[in-house]
Amino acid sequence: MVKTKCLYDPIEQSDGDRILVTRYWPRGVSKERLSITDWLRNLAPSKELLKDWKKHTITWQEYTVRYRKEMRDQQAAIKDSADRARNGTITLLCFEQEDEPYCHRHLHKELVEKAQ
């Protein structure tokens, strides 16, 4: 099972393996506080893609296309996540609030679920 969550949300036993999928470490947050299993920076959008999104120079549709294109080089990591999800629960963590629809972790969840 694949879940998504904001990294600031409370830790729950049902989270399973907590995987941080951000390019940057959250300021002022310790490893102990996050209680993560892994930090997979390579599954986050590139610096360039993040910059374009934050400056509002691209649409969500273009962001989605570019993120998926970047993830083509990450098939081994996606497969590893899919294997973990098949055998238990993984929770993908990012900065954005869970109800924020414009976050790469939701796109990554789709990629993992397709690879299962």
Task: Please report, in tens digits, the pLDDT of each residue of the chain (116 residues total).
Answer: 999 999 999 999 999 999 999 999 998 888 888 999 999 999 999 999 999 999 999 999 999 999 999 999 999 999 999 999 999 999 999 998 888 889 999 999 999 999 98
- Locate the DSSP E strands across the chain: 2-6, 17-20, 38-39, 90-94
Count structural domains, the chain: 1
Burial of 108 (0-12, 13-18, 19+ CB in 10 A): buried
pTM over 0.75: yes
| Phi and psi torsions of 21, nearest 5° | -120, 50
Range of the domain at 100: 2-115
Tell me what pLDDT residue 64 has: 97
